[in-house]
């Protein structure tokens, strides 16, 4: 069985993340979504809230998905969880630069864990959780970027 880990902040999960997860499931039998706790990043949602949102957003394929919280390096967690590959999403060249560095660093740490990159549907190629949160701060509509239930949770959190 081919198992991959898809790590990220998922703060919150967007249609871009969902698109990557679905593409990865066409190649891998199981996907472990790793909600990374990164103390250097200020998040809108707790790790537990993010887990619940990921599970709900990916409900149609949840039988092939596990969602876990981790405060380890993603590549180390990938090995410990018995997976062989790390999934990452690519939007634009700017992502490439960062991912290039990260992949080579990860190889130094765990040389047998390889990274696999998927490109999102073009309509999500500009989308990030950060953009969603910025739009939300200005009380904008989030319908094109996140599922309705997440838009509702964000609006409740920010009282609008
Ligand atoms: P991180 O803090 O690791 O960047 P994110 O949750 O922002 O966490 O992203 C996790 C992964 O998902 C990264 O590989 C990122 O490039 C990818 N990703 C996020 N949004 C999109 C999108 N709209 N299209 C494709 N990949 C995406």
Q: 80 in a domain, yes or no?
A: yes
CA–CA separation, 97 and 155 (whole Å): 34
> What span, in angstroms and rounded, lies between the C-alpha atoms of 116 and 95?
14
* Residue among 17, 39, 134 whose CB has most ligand 1 atoms within 8 A, to mutate: 17
Question: Could you read off the pLDDT of 127-146 as tens digits, one per residue?
Answer: 999 999 999 999 999 999 99
CATH number at residue 69: 3.40.50.620
Torsion angle (degrees, nearest 10) of CA 84, 89, 94, 96: 30
- Flag whether 143 is in a domain: no
Residue 73 within a domain: yes
Residue 149 lies in a domain: no
What b/e readout covers 124-151, taking b as 16+ CB neighbours within 10 angstroms?
Answer: beebbbeebbebbeeeeebeebbbeebb
Q: Which residues line ligand 1 (CB under 6 A)?
A: 8-10, 14, 16-17, 20, 88-89, 91, 95, 120, 124, 127-129
- Domain membership of residue 152 (yes or no) is no
- pLDDT (tens digit per residue) in 47-75: 999 999 999 999 999 999 999 999 999 99
Q: In this structure, which residue's CA is closest to atom 10 in ligand 1? A: 8
Domain carrying residue 30: 3-126
Domain count of the fold of the chain? 1
Residue 141 in any domain: the answer is no
- pLDDT tens, residue by residue, 83-129: 999 999 999 888 999 999 999 999 999 999 999 999 999 999 999 99
Give 144's DSSP letter.
T
Tokens 């953009």 sit at which residue? 131
d(CA 152, CA 76): 35
pLDDT of residue 21: 98
Residue 116 resides in a domain: yes
Spot the catalytic one: 41, 104, 139, 152.
Answer: 41
H-assigned helices in 33-111: 47-57, 74-80, 93-109
Chain position carrying tokens 């969603």: 132
Q: What is the pLDDT of residue 92?
A: 84
**pLDDT for residue 160:** 84
Q: Which of 22, 23, 79, 91 is catalytic?
A: 91
Residue 136, CA distances (Å) to 10, 28, 64, 90, 97 in order: 16, 34, 31, 24, 28
Q: Whose CA is nearest to atom 15 of ligand 1?
A: 89
């Amino acid at each position: 069985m081919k198992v991959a880990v898809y790590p990220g902040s998922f703060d919150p999960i967007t249609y871009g993340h969902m698109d990557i997860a679905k593409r990865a499931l066409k190649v891998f039998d199981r996907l472990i979504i790793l909600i990374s706790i990164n103390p250097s990043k200020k998040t809108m949602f707790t790790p537990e809230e993010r887990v619940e949102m990921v599970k709900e957003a990916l409900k149609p394929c949840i039988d092939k998905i596990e969602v876990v919280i981790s405060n380890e390096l993603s590549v180390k967690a990938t090995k410990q969880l018995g997976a062989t590959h790390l999934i990452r999403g690519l939007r634009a060249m700017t992502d490439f630069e960062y991912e290039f560095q990260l992949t080579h660093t990860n190889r130094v740490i765990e040389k047998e864990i390889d990274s696999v990159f998927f490109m999102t549907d073009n309509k999500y190629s500009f989308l990030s959780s950060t953009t969603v949160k910025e739009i939300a701060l200005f009380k904008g509509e989030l319908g094109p970027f996140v599922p309705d239930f997440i838009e509702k949770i964000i609006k409740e959190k920010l009282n609008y």
